[in-house]
Amino acid sequence: MSVFEFTFGLIAIILGLALTDIATSLHRLVMNRARVKWHPLPLLAAALALWAVILQWWTAWESRAGKEQVFSSLVYAIAQALVLFLMAAASLPDKGDEGEVDLGAHYDKVRPYYMSLALIMVMTAGVVPSISGLVEGQPYLGSAIANGVLAVAFAVCIFVRRRWVNTAVLALIVLLLAGRWGLTELRG
């Protein structure tokens, strides 16, 4: 078994659990929709977590032709996958079959936690690698700026309680991700 197969298998399990959590929570909400007070924010949060999980999975897969890795990079990749799992788990309420579920209230409750996880995700997956790429002389300036803007947006949403601001930020990020990656040709 190669190092890639060993690490990819574990990361795939963690990310697969994140996808399962989103799907299960969404299923419960839809099946009990009469008792759900719908709001777009948790759905946007779930969509962002879904995109992030898929992108992380794809990034992990693309590393298969790369050089051998050190143990710390395995720990780093597992930590990123765990952050994505926690984002996915926080995005939608786990309950759905008992009493009324208010999605807006759920988002208000998990917003600081979810946005902190999103900030950690973008810092570890985007900003830090982009800055280290700049230091090493690789041209990642555009990526560093884009990831920096994402980091600021998530940081603002940690503290700003206004739902319309959070809705605008999440909707814009999900649309930008869909536009950027939605038509990417998959090879391999």
Q: What is the DSSP letter of 187?
A: -
pLDDT digits (tens, 9 = 90+) for 78-103: 899 999 999 999 999 987 667 899 99
pLDDT digits (tens, 9 = 90+) for 115-130: 999 999 998 876 556 5
Tokens coding 47: 């969509």
Q: Is 17 exposed, middle or buried (0-12, 13-18, 19+ CB in 10 A)?
A: middle
Is residue 174 within 8 Å of 51, Cβ to Cβ? yes
Q: How far is CA 58 from the centre of its chain?
A: 13
| Spatial CA neighbour of 19 closest among 60, 59, 47 | 47
Confidence (pLDDT) at 65: 67
Confidence (pLDDT) at 28: 94
Q: How far is CA 131 from the centre of its chain?
A: 20
Q: pLDDT > 90: what percent of the chain?
A: 55
Q: What is the DSSP letter of 186?
A: P
Tokens coding 13: 């399990």
| Spatial CA neighbour of 6 closest among 74, 67, 83, 70 | 74
pLDDT digits (tens, 9 = 90+) for 141-180: 567 777 888 999 999 999 999 999 999 999 999 998 887 7
List C-alpha distances in Å: 128 to 19, 58, 59, 150, 163.
25, 19, 16, 13, 29
Which stretches does DSSP call E strand in 44-186? 101-102
Three-state secondary structure call for residue 95: coil
Work out the average pLDDT over 10-27.
95
pLDDT digits (tens, 9 = 90+) for 21-72: 999 999 999 999 999 999 999 999 999 999 999 988 887 777 766 666 667 7
The angle subtended at Cα 76 by Cα 19 and Cα 175, nearest 5°, is 45
User: Could you please report the per-residue DSSP string of 5-16?
Assistant: HHHHHHHHHHHH
Q: What share of the chain is helix, strand, coil (3-state, %, to 5)?
A: 80, 0, 20
Residue for token pair 């759900």: 36
Confidence (pLDDT) at 179: 78
Global pTM? 0.86
Confidence (pLDDT) at 47: 97
